[in-house]
Chain A
Amino acid sequence: MEAIAHLIAAAEATAADEKNANAAMSAGFAYGLAAIGPGIGIGYLVGKSVEAMARQPEAAGMVRTTMFLGIAFTEALALIGFVVFILLKFA
């Protein structure tokens, strides 16, 4: 009787294992994919901002402010990916 209980428990455990493995894998994919776009975006954004600042140093303050706003908006996408990662992994 006890052996059967153990078996059932083991089977449940493997099912849970598989589910958790899937969750971990999809979590990893979620974050990895979510980081691609914002990575390119932020790189492009900062590069262009530096170009603008070098071309017109007197406008550097304004460019920097706008750059930070742009980074904040772009970065939010990656961070949403990170939150999804946390949700998939731990929830």
Chain B
Amino acid sequence: MLTAIVTQSNGRIVNVRLAASDTTDTTVVGEEATTLAAAPSAEGETTAETKTAPNPIAPETKELAWAAGSFIVLFVLMRFFLFPKLKQGMDARYAGIRGDIEGADRTKADARGEVAEYERALEAVRAEAAARVDKARQTVDAERQAKLAEVNARIAAKRAEAEAENAAARAAVRDQVAVAVSQVASRAAELATGRAPDAATVQSAVSAAMESAGSR
């Protein structure tokens, strides 16, 4: 930068100086002594000649003062007022959240216990119900068996009765048939031989014939 200024200003130094002080800070010139003293490097003849702006790195007192002031004010406010207040709120909320979580855990454990108890009760009730159903079923079975047996017995009795009646009727019919047949047979023999056959002989012959027919 200085180079440009010096070469350009060869004939008209005043001009360039004006330009330099235009672009740069006006108060810098007043602080030149302090800032240059702070800067370690020797500026050499060029600075002395052109009275240019100081080192761009050299710190300025007023900036230092304002920065330090702002920082210290901020720190004091933060340390004694802003941060504790915010932190208090955060801690309170975190404590609350932690308490809530613990409460929720407790409630959950309680609920779990209740569920287990309920399940136990349910199990017992279910077992009882099953027992009762079994018992009822057994009773019903027994009753049914009994009734079935009774009915069967009744049916068997009726059947036996009917069979007996049947047999009696049949025997009666046979007797009548045998009587009729022996009468017919003795009449036929009487007509053929001229004398009445022995009743017992006819009867035994008829019954033998009927036996063989019935057995067929």
Q: In the complex, which of the residues A6, A16, A83, A87 contacts B7, with contact meaning CB atoms closer than 8 Å?
A: A16
Is B55 positioned at the interface, with any CB of A under 8 Å from its CB? yes
Contacts of A10 in B (CB 8 A): 10
Q: Which of B20-28, B39-47, B168-176, B178-186 contacts A (4 or more CB under 8 A)?
A: B39-47
Those of B35-56 within 8 Å (CB) of chain A: 39, 41, 43-44, 46, 55-56
Contacts of A24 in B (CB 8 A): 3
Mostly, the A contact residues are helix
The smallest beta-carbon distance between A89 and chain B, in angstroms, is 8
Count of interface residues, chain B, beta-carbon cutoff 8 Å = 15
User: Are B57 and A19 in contact (CB-based, < 8 A)?
Assistant: no
Those of A43-91 within 8 Å (CB) of chain B: 83, 86-87, 89-91
Is B2 positioned at the interface, with any CB of A under 8 Å from its CB? yes
The smallest beta-carbon distance between A55 and chain B, in angstroms, is 35
Question: How far does the alpha carbon of A57 sit from the alpha carbon of B3 in the complex, in Å?
Answer: 54
User: Are A13 and B43 in contact (CB-based, < 8 A)?
Assistant: no
The smallest beta-carbon distance between B19 and chain A, in angstroms, is 16
Q: Contact size class for A? A: 10 to 19
Those of A15-33 within 8 Å (CB) of chain B: 16-17, 19-21, 24
Question: How far does the alpha carbon of A20 sit from the alpha carbon of B57 in the complex, in Å?
Answer: 18
Beyond A10-B10, A13-B6, 10 additional contacts (C-beta under 8 Å) are A13-B7, A19-B44, A20-B3, A20-B6, A20-B46, A24-B3, A87-B57, A90-B2, A90-B56, A91-B56
Interface residues, chain B, CB within 8 Å of chain A? 1-3, 6-7, 10-11, 39, 41, 43-44, 46, 55-57
Give 17 CB contacts A-B under 8 Å.
A6-B11, A13-B7, A13-B10, A16-B3, A16-B46, A17-B6, A17-B7, A20-B2, A20-B3, A20-B6, A21-B3, A87-B57, A90-B56, A91-B39, A91-B43, A91-B55, A91-B56
